[in-house]
Structure 1
Amino acid sequence: MNTRFSRIPLSLLAPLSLVAAVAGCGPLSDDEGGHAAGRSFTVAAAGDILMHPELVEQARKDAKRTGKGVAGLDFGPMMAGIKPLISKADLAICHFEPVVGTENGPFEGFPDFQVPPQTATTIKNLGYDTCSTASNHTLDHGYEGVRRTLDALDAAGLKHTGSFRTQKEALTPLVMNVKGVKVAQISFAYGFNEPHTLPKDKPWLANGMSLKAVKAAEQRARAAGAEVVILSIHWGLEHHPNPSAQQLSFARQIARHTGINLVIGCHAHVVQPMEKVDRTWVAYGMGNQIARHEVPTGLTEEGVIAWFTFTEHGKGHWDVQPRFEPTLLEIPPDAENATDGGKTAYTEDDARDYRLLDVPTALRDDHGLTDRQRARLRLAFERTEGTLKNRGAAKDGLKALTPMR
């Protein structure tokens, strides 16, 4: 990866001025001046990372096999299937939803997540560069939980935005140098799970969603030199493949009243459509990158890596080409939820371990897939593709990054 990153200190911020650099394109003109034409970079972005207790146990099981990991946990084998793609992007963006605990636990699932800090190292090793951290779970363990989470991401070498340890940090834009282009990431959440609220003495602890707040964050990023601004947003209704009325309305406000170049959404835990709103691409929901809900639905194991190619056409004008790569988390049979009272045994077709797969790559490589496994992968691809395109994205250029064989 050819990426260098920097946070712009507050002392260097110019007076706030909103530079509209929306994701559209126009013919290059000599008198537009500025940067040379044709600068280009790629962005990969994926859905919620939620290490439920079953996934922590899988990491413990894998650590015994590999002899690697930290404090008896190795999350690498579980997520290795997406590394070849994620590591190819010039900028790879994760959504880190939960709160980090201490290295040896205790670890908790819903409702107040507390996950191993070892997950951050795995995310970095996959090729991720930065993570959004504003979610409905950000405040699950108060200020100390936010601090532990950001400290763990820092220790792993991951950039982050959306929650903050100090007011200065909250007001300092995350601007990254991506192949010579200054790219900013901003992150917001629709709200926080009760009974958790922003502390009165720390209202800057995490970003709550409003058009005013989003515009202000974009203005700070532009004033700090950002040429492209990407909004990570935690919104919508859980387990609903269709975007909510609030998502649709807010997407249009963003497209028409800000200069944000790309919107990438999470929270629904299922894949939602992509849509070009005016000149701005919106990925309403990318499903789960990895999670293990109490009752898997089939949809909660399916996700998507959204892939965007940004190409400059004249100063401040960017064409965004969208692509998608479906993913699938293979899960072992769950005896507790078996309809025969827990007597279900493994069959030759069943997964023995939790494994995150790049769907078209798994189909291409095959490696002895059974007919049942192959059919499941095809279902994941076709359902993800159908959902992504059901608001007309195909006519605006959305295609599979890797076609299904």
Structure 2
Amino acid sequence: MSHRSAAFGLLIGLAACVPGGESVTGAACQRGGSGTAFRPGAVTVAAVGDVLMHVFLQQDAAQHPDGFATQLAPMAPFLRMADVTVANLEGPAARDLLVGGGERVLPPDLIHDGAVYSGFPTFNFHPSLITDLGDAGVDVLQTANNHAMDRGPLGVERTLEAIDAAGLAHTGTRARGEAGPWHAVVAAGGQRIAFLACSYSTNGRADPGGQVLLCYRDEAEVLATIRALRADPQIDATILLPHWGQEDMESPDANQRRLAQAALEAGAAAVIGTHPHVLQPIETLTTSDGRRGVVAYSLGNFISSQWRTNQRSSVLLFLDLLPGPNGLEAAPPAWLPTRVTRYVNGVVVQPAEQAAHGERTIAHVETILGREGMLSVADLGGGCR
């Protein structure tokens, strides 16, 4: 465990979870039983939405000795509870790279300068964000999204190098000329789970090397990959991570619904979406051959500096994969409401019930997702113990 991980317990007054089990995940905590998550015999996947580090958040992180870790600390015990946890990295984390591909060598610990590391409309995050996400409990990063090409082809490659160096898995982008798979396979809970990410676009930015898998342009490849993974005896379940939908819309569009059903029919156990920056509903659907699949159309922003209630309100989704007649199947999920809050000493993402004005987030989450499946901190035993 790194010095950053050790600091989490001091920051939030909870004991840090000691990783154990398979080294490719950050799981293995004592977990509170909620009845809708961490069922006996299940592999529990956790997911959060967009990690969207606007300039304000980069500047805030630069004020703290632990950088981005301070912002993530309140959620770390809960992120670590699952067998495997996934997040959407909404932009590159390419060291020393300017817009347009030029380079400017900065001191390694300079988190924000406004040119190399910058915000909207062309994001680039300091690579320490990846390390901090991993220390907080994230195991898999989705890198296919509309900001994936914000630093061009080299930006994609430097981001993947940073993810590899941090020991996390990634899906949805690849280096120029690489013919390897778009998906990542993670050993978790004694099973092998495949994650496949795709994006609706790259914001019109050129992708001359074909480095980003696109959900709709490459739909045939997306579905063929899911079918191949389902047929692979070495893969126990596949989860599609599409970056799709309409920004600020709290309902999925027709393309989301169509691709979600097609992905389940192809063999996906679940579909967990991002991009709209707000929560959208979660549904349990049945395929033509009787399999059950879960679709979370959008998890909204995990952390950003978009401040409307529906933009700062999200959930940590817990999805149990249980043995069924057709392999691992997704059980009805559960979720912990989360809220991004700006305090006088900085910004944090935390369980909504612990946040100032968190009742607004809880009410919003209930409006979108309903009450059944909602978890509290107490349901989860206070996090890792």
| TM-score in terms of structure 1 length | 0.74
Q: Which of 257, 260, 273 is matched with 1:248 structurally? A: 257
Q: Which residue of 2 is the match for residue 115 of structure 1?
A: 125
Partner SS for 2:283: strand
Aligned to 2:244: 235
Q: How many Å separate the matches in 2 of 1:306 and 1:266?
A: 12
Corresponding position of 1:399 = 373
2:327 is paired with a residue whose SS is: coil
Which of 156, 161, 164 does residue 151 from structure 1 map onto?
161
Q: Is the 8 A contact 1:189 1:209 kept in 2?
A: yes
Counterpart residue number, 1:379: 360
Q: Deviations over 1:64-101 (max 9, x none)?
A: xxxxx4xxxx1111111111110111010111111113
Q: State the number of aligned residues.
A: 321
How big is the shift at 1:353?
1.8
Note closer, same or farther for the CA distance 1:79–1:232 as it changes in structure 2 (3 Å cut).
same
Give, in whole Å, the separation in 1 of the partners of 2:303 and 2:373: 23
- The answer to whether residue 298 in structure 2 is matched with residue 285 in structure 1 is yes
TM-fit CA distance, 1:166: 4.5
The superposition leaves residues 115-141 of structure 1 with CA deviations (integer Å, 9 ceiling, x where unpaired) of 111100110010111111000011111
Task: Work out the CA distance in 2 between the residues paired with 1:251 and 1:318.
Answer: 15
Alignment partner, residue 182 of structure 1: 192
Q: CA RMSD in A?
A: 2.2
Alpha carbons of structure 1 residues 168 and 147: separation in structure 2 relative to 1, 3 Å: closer
Alpha-carbon deviation of 1:160?
A: 0.4
Residue 66 of structure 1: aligned partner: none
Q: Which residue of 2 aligns with 1:47?
A: 49
1:178-327 superposed matches below 5 A: 178-194=188-204, 196-199=205-208, 202-203=209-210, 205-210=211-216, 211-222=219-230, 223=232, 225-255=234-264, 257-278=265-286, 279-293=292-306, 296-314=307-325, 316-327=327-338
With over 3 angstroms needed to count, the CA separation of the structure-2 counterparts of 1:249 and 1:329, relative to structure 1, is same
The 5-angstrom pairing of residues 56-205 of structure 1 reads: 56-63=58-65, 69=66, 74-102=67-95, 103=108, 104=110, 106-168=116-178, 170-171=180-181, 173-194=183-204, 196-199=205-208, 202-203=209-210, 205=211
Displacement after TM superposition at 1:352 (Å): 4.2
Q: For 1:177, what is the secondary structure of its paired residue?
A: strand
2:94 counterpart letter in structure 1: G
Bigger radius of gyration among the two: 1
Q: Tell me the secondary structure at the aligned position of residue 138 of structure 1.
A: coil
Q: Residue 357 in 1 paired to residue 350 in 2?
A: yes
Q: Is the 8 A contact 1:3 1:178 kept in 2?
A: yes
State the 1:402 CA deviation. Answer: 2.0
Q: TM-score scaled to structure 2, two decimals?
A: 0.78
Cα shift at 1:224:
6.8
User: Is the Cα–Cα contact under 8 Å of residues 46 and 84 in structure 2 kept in the other structure?
Assistant: yes
Distance 1:266-1:315 versus aligned 2 partners, 3 A rule: closer
Instruction: Provide the rounded CA distance (Å) in 1 between the counterparts of 2:324 and 2:263.
Output: 22
Q: Is residue 175–residue 224 contact of structure 1 (8 Å, CA) maintained in 2?
A: no
Q: Compute the displacement of 1:216 (Å).
A: 2.0
| Cα distance in 2 for residues equivalent to 1:358 and 1:183 | 27
Cα offset for 1:314?
A: 4.1
